[in-house]
Chain A
Amino acid sequence: MVSPYNYYMNQSILNVKVWRGTQDGGFVEYKVPRAANQTVLDVVTYIQRKLDPTLSYRFACRVGMCGSCAMTVNGKARWTCRTHVAKIADSDTLEIAPLDNLPIIKDLATDMTEFFDKMSKAVGYFKGEQTRHDDFAMVKPDSEERQLANAGIECIGCGVCYASCEVVSARESYLGPAALNRAWTLVNDERDSQQLDRLRAVAGDAGCHSCHTQGTCSERCPKQIEPTAGIAGLKKIVGRAAVMGSKWGKL
C-alpha cells in the first residue's frame, strides 16, 4: 500500500527560489519534492539537509512559539513553521527570502539586533515598585486596561510586522509595530512605574505618531495581534498627555 506521504512525494516537485548570500546576493533555484502537510520550514530544512548544507537559516521550536523562523515567502513576511506550502504556493513555485527591513547576515538569516533594541528604546520592559515582601498586586481580569493588554500580549517577537511596515522602510529611527505594541501592553499595566518615560519614548516621529495606519502589520501578524490598534491608543494617550497631562503627570 502506498502511504499518503509517498503518494505526495511522488506527486510533484516544487521549484523553490531561495535567497543566497547577503544584501548583494541573489536567488538560487532548488527542486524539492512535495509532501503532505509540508510547511515552508520543511522545504528550507529539506534543502539544507539534502541539497546544500551551506544554506543558513534560523529556527528553533517549529510550533509557532519562539518567533525565530520568519522569512519572506512569495513576497510576504510569514512564520514559516506554521505556513503550509499547499496554502500559499503559486502553482509549483515558491520564493523564499530573508525578512525585509533588517540587514541580512547570510542567506535567510537576518540581524535582528535593531528590532530588539527598539523594544528597549520604547521602554518595552516592566519595572514595578513593590518588592517580594509586598502582597500580590491585584489586577482585575475584566478591567479595561487588562483587556487591552491581553489583546497585544501574545507577541512572539518574530519580526513579521517590522518587516512588513512601510514606515520602517522609509524612516530608520521609527520604533516599529512590535516595539510600540509592547509599549502599549505596558501602558495598560497598572503595576508599572515608568509610564511617563515610556510615553516620552514613544512620542513623535520616531514613535507612534508617524504610523500611517496602513495596517499591514495587523494583516500579517501570525498571532492575530493588531499593532495598529495599540499604536492608535498610544497616539491618543501620548497626545493628550502632552497637551493636557495624564494620570501619571504631564509630558
Chain B
Amino acid sequence: MGQAVSNAAILQAKLWYYQRISAMVLALCVSVHLIIIYIAVQDGLTANEILGRTRGNWAFALFYEIFVLACFVHAPIGLANILRENIQNAFLNRALPLLLAALILLLGTMAVVGVVWGQP
C-alpha cells in the first residue's frame, strides 16, 4: 500500500515536471504565434493568401507541430489535476484527459498538415 501510494505520488511529480517544461515551450510558442499573426494579417486574410505563404514551408510545419506537441503534453495533465480535485470517478479521471490528449494531437497535426501541404 505504502509503495503503491509512493509510486502514484512519484508519477504525479513526473507529470508536474512535464507540465512545467511544456509550459515553458508554450510560453515561447504563444509569443512567436502572436507575432506571426500580426505579420500574417498585413496583406489580408483570404485562404489563398495564407496558404500561399504557408504551403511547403517546413519551418512553419516544424514550429507548429512543436506547438501542438507542447499542448498535447500540457493540457491533459492540467485537466487530470482539475478532475482529480473535483470528481470522484476513476474512469472519467483517466479517460477524459486521454481523450483530450488524442484530440489535440490528431486535430493539431491535421491542421499543420492542412496548411502546409493542403489544397486551397
Smallest distance from the beta carbon of A27 to chain B beta carbons, Å?
32
Q: A209 and B16 in contact (CB under 8 A), knowing A204-B10, A251-B10?
A: yes
CB atoms of B16 and A239 under 8 A apart: yes
A203's partner among B12, B18, B84, B85 (CB-CB below 8 A) is B12
The residue from B5, B8, B14, B85 contacting A171, defined by CB atoms under 8 A apart: B85
Do residues A200 and B84 form an inter-chain contact, with CB atoms below 8 A? no
A209 to B17, CA, bound (A): 10
Shortest distance between the CB of A8 and any CB in chain B (Å) = 48
Cα separation A238 to B13 with both chains bound (whole Å): 6
* Contact among A170, A209, A240, A241 with B12 in the assembled complex (CB-CB below 8 Å): A209
Complex interface residues of chain B between 57 and 103 (CB less than 8 A to chain A): 84-85
Whether B85 pairs with A170 at a CB distance below 8 angstroms is yes
State in angstroms the CA–CA spacing of A206 and B5 once bound together: 10
Q: Quick check: is A207 within 8 A (CB to CB) of the other chain?
A: yes
Identify 18 residue pairs between A and B in the complex whose beta-carbon atoms are under 8 Å apart, listed by A's number: A200-B10, A203-B13, A204-B8, A204-B10, A204-B12, A204-B13, A205-B8, A205-B84, A206-B9, A209-B13, A209-B16, A236-B20, A240-B17, A242-B13, A242-B14, A243-B14, A243-B17, A251-B13
The reply to whether the CB of B42 lies closer than 8 angstroms to some CB of chain A is no
Do B9 and A207 have beta carbons less than 8 Å apart? yes
**Residue from B5, B8, B13, B14 with most neighbouring chain A CB atoms (10 Å):** B13
B17 touching A205 by the CB < 8 A rule? no
Within 8 Å by CB of A242, from B5, B17, B85, lies B17
Whether B12 and A205, one on each chain, are in contact in the complex, defined by CB atoms closer than 8 angstroms, is yes
User: What separation, in Å, do the CA atoms of A200 and B17 have in the docked complex?
Assistant: 15
Q: A212-251: contact bitstring with B at CB < 8 Å (1 yes, 0 no)?
A: 0000000000000000000000011011111100000001
Complexed CA–CA distance, A170 and B10 (Å): 21
Q: Is B31 an interface residue (CB 8 A)?
A: no
Nearest CB of chain A from residue B82's CB, rounded to whole Å: 11
